[in-house]
Amino acid sequence: MKKTIFAISILSSVVYFAQNTKDSTNFKVKEKDIEGVVITKTKKAVEQKADRTIFDFSEQPHLNNGNVLEGIKKLPGLVSTDIAGMMYQGKILDVYLNGRPLNISSNELNSFLEGMPANSVEKIEVITQPGAEFPATSGGAIMNIITNKNANKYLSATYSGNYNFSNYDKFRSRTSNSLNLNARNKLFGWQLSLGQNYRESMLNSNQDNLMFANTDRIGRGYFAKSGVTFDLGEDRLLLNYDIYHNKNSNYTASNGFADILISQNPDLFREIDFDAFDAAKTNNLRQEAVATYQKRFSDDKNKKLDFQFGYTKADSKFGQNNIFRKGIFTDSPIGEPFNFTAGNVLENSSDMRIANFRIDYSQPLKILDEGKVSLGGLYEKQNFDTESKGLTNLEYQRQTASTYLEFQAKYKKFDFIAGARAENYDISGITRIENGNTITEDDLIPFNKFKLFPNASVQYNVMNQVYALANYNKKINLPSISALNPNNNTFQGPNTQVNGNPFLQPTIFDNFELKISAFDYAFIGYSVNNAKNQVAQIIRREGKNIFNEQVNISEMKIHNFNVGLPIPFMIFTKPLSEIMKFDFNPDKINFMYLYAGYQKHDINNLKNNGFWIFNVMTQILLPKDIKMTANYSYLTPRAGYFYFTAEKPFNNSLDITLSKKLWITV
């Protein structure tokens, strides 16, 4: 209707002007050239919605100038560690890529994200309140990484590149390059994205004063993403194929104390003071193919029906070779030496295949002032096999069938969401353990259950752009393949073992949240997450040996309080009443954004300290359209993460970025 009125008003003005010109012979027409007007859509750096927070990466140089993991660690309220995994405002994150779960965690997830250039990401959605339309396996929250997918009506080519270096103990460098091609014609649009990432890094570790290690790491990542979109009248057919390839090399020099087996029957151990050097290589390949048909209806543009079929295959290979282990036996009065090569210590591989089909339908509904109903279903089948030195030691199968129904409604200043998702799980498998010349085979603990997962939220619109929200949802989190994998894909030394646990059980979450937000940037909130059978990493020590394992925590709670406050520097030059109108582009002003969050993990029979997360981001506009962005993050020491206490803060960082946009027209 607005377009019609606008067209009529222009036409009326032209007719009126023509009549006056014709009737007035002495009237002089003054001509004036009208300059072209360019309308530019500005993306918000941060956008708050009822169920999610959206962070723009495409136009934020301080986020997109490295790899994806580096950009993620700069997001206020997000904690990423090899031990605790990824958490946002106290909620365990399930990581998605373009709306599909990656189903990996810990070191494997970090390695994957390090292999993706951040400039290939359009935005990241942190869905803190996943509704019924999302699989109940999303757990506490979802981080959905959305890559660039726009197609123009002309051939467009975009190149992005980054180079970083450091000279801490020796010269190390990092590079990333990506190329995006896209175009569109009357029949279809297409896109092709290519990229690579090379990074050198160093890791020092101390494991309970038993082993000290220095690791030189070299990571190489490559990706290719292709997509074709066919316009079929009002409907669309989307075909996508993505491939990701990571090749990493680790060279570890270690020393310490260990108990090694000297003889058997009976077992005899002797303590050694050792020095060792090992070389490890990882080769990961992930392929995804997705076909989506989007049905649209001419009678109602808000009515949608989507069909999607997807297939994912991920292969992983890990090998570790010991170059030498040498030292002395500590119980020898003459310092009896030992010197040998363990050779091929680890030779592991895994193969994951996931196929799924989903249907989603939504349409407006006349309830209260206005409303909407969404419903759909999903069927998914997953197979995951692992192998160690020729022995298939895990065969894991999962089938999931689910359906959901959700209602949304508005009534005066209230927004309501209520829904439920029903899911049926059939999980089974076998595991094999080799002990000498004997192979023991056991069945995994089966999980064959039907469960209902409700969700509800109420939002009160206090005033324009000021909201108060209360939310509850029940979720489940299935152990990732990284946690289930019984093989060691990290590092094995004379006194260290890192293993997964194929007997892990799913985690059940009850999530509660209260939140007040204003103008997309300011907010204050409190949430509590009750978890049963939470999967966590635990390190235990037996004598001179350390074991790193995955376990289920029978019951725990995560409390989280957080607050965010933007401070535009114009408060020193303009009245508050004018600032509160928010009639300005945040990308064109000087400001500081303050974030603080408090988090505490409550586990039975364990005294954990809470910890604070502080983040300060400052944007300063310099002459010549140069933008300076400074990002500082600080975590308090003695922080309790599940079964671990961080003696020193591990996520403190200061990042300063200078950027200037350059336009090249061909």
Give the pLDDT confidence of 25-51 residue by residue, as tens digits: 443 344 444 344 444 455 677 777 767
Answer yes or no: is pLDDT of 198 > 50: yes
H-run or E-run covering 615: strand 611-622
Q: Report CA 523 to chain centroid distance, whole Å.
A: 22
Q: How far apart are CA 139 and CA 128, in angstroms?
A: 10
User: What is the C-alpha radius of gyration for the chain, rounded to an integer number of angstroms?
Assistant: 29
3 state SS of 114: helix
- Residue 630 burial (C-beta neighbours within 10 Å; 0-12, 13-18, 19+): middle
- Residue 233 burial (C-beta neighbours within 10 Å; 0-12, 13-18, 19+): exposed
pLDDT score recorded for residue 33 = 44
Most confident of 139-143, 182-186, 519-523: 182-186
Q: How far apart are CA 422 and CA 268, in angstroms?
A: 55
Task: Give me the mean pLDDT over the 320-330 stretch.
Answer: 92
Return all residues near 578 (Cβ < 8 A) that are at least 6 apart: none
pLDDT score recorded for residue 334 = 86
Q: At 293, is the pLDDT very low, low, confident or very high (cuts 50, 70, 90)?
A: very high
- Indicate the residue type of 153: K
pLDDT score recorded for residue 220 = 92
Q: What percent of the chain has pLDDT over 70?
A: 87
DSSP state of 366: -
Residue with the bigger pLDDT between 381 and 547: it is 381
Task: Give me the mean pLDDT over the 321-343 stretch.
Answer: 89
pLDDT score recorded for residue 15 = 31
Task: Give me the mean pLDDT over the 189-198 stretch.
Answer: 88
Task: Give me the mean pLDDT over the 231-235 stretch.
Answer: 87
Query: Global pTM?
Result: 0.76
| Nearest C-alpha neighbor of 534 from the set 139, 128, 81, 103 | 139
Most confident of 262-271, 351-360, 618-627: 351-360
Residue with the bigger pLDDT between 315 and 647: it is 315
Six token digits for residue 123: 């935005």
Task: Give me the mean pLDDT over the 543-568 stretch.
Answer: 86
Q: What percent of the chain has pLDDT over 90?
A: 27
- Location of structure tokens 């007997």: 503
Q: How far apart are CA 409 and CA 404, in angstroms?
A: 17
Q: What are phi and psi of 415, to 5 degrees?
A: -120, 130
In the chain, where are the structural domains located? Answer: 152-659
Answer yes or no: is pLDDT of 101 > 70: yes
Q: How far apart are CA 23 and CA 14, in angstroms?
A: 15
DSSP state of 577: H
Most confident of 114-118, 161-165, 229-233, 316-320: 316-320
Answer yes or no: is pLDDT of 465 > 70: yes
Answer yes or no: is pLDDT of 72 > 80: yes
Answer yes or no: is pLDDT of 313 > 80: yes
| Nearest C-alpha neighbor of 457 from the set 99, 52, 53 | 52
Per-residue pLDDT tens over the stretch 472-497: 989 888 887 778 888 877 888 888 88
pLDDT score recorded for residue 19 = 36
CB 57 within 8 A of CB 71: yes
Q: At 10, is the pLDDT very low, low, confident or very high (cuts 50, 70, 90)?
A: very low
pLDDT score recorded for residue 83 = 58
For all residues of the chain together, what is the average pLDDT? 82
Q: At 241, is the pLDDT very low, low, confident or very high (cuts 50, 70, 90)?
A: very high
Q: How far apart are CA 359 and CA 305, in angstroms?
A: 7
pLDDT score recorded for residue 43 = 65
- Indicate the residue type of 535: V
Answer yes or no: is pLDDT of 642 > 60: yes
Least confident of 22-31, 287-296, 455-464: 22-31
Least confident of 147-161, 229-243, 392-406, 410-424: 147-161
pLDDT score recorded for residue 157 = 80
Per-residue pLDDT tens over the stretch 369-423: 999 999 999 999 999 999 998 899 999 999 999 999 999 999 999 999 999 999 9
pLDDT score recorded for residue 240 = 92
Q: How far apart are CA 605 and CA 363, in angstroms?
A: 50
The DSSP bridge partners found for residue 438 are: 435
pLDDT score recorded for residue 287 = 95
pLDDT score recorded for residue 38 = 42
pLDDT score recorded for residue 587 = 64
Answer yes or no: is pLDDT of 173 > 70: yes
pLDDT score recorded for residue 32 = 43
Least confident of 15-29, 253-267, 273-287, 599-613: 15-29
Q: How far apart are CA 26 and CA 557, in angstroms?
A: 85
pLDDT score recorded for residue 439 = 87
Answer yes or no: is pLDDT of 13 > 60: no
pLDDT score recorded for residue 177 = 86
If you classify domain 152-659 with CATH, what class do you get?
mainly beta
Task: Give me the mean pLDDT over the 301-308 stretch.
Answer: 91
Answer yes or no: is pLDDT of 522 > 50: yes
Q: How far apart are CA 534 and CA 547, in angstroms?
A: 19
H-run or E-run covering 250: strand 235-263
- Indicate the residue type of 345: V
pLDDT score recorded for residue 151 = 54
pLDDT score recorded for residue 107 = 66
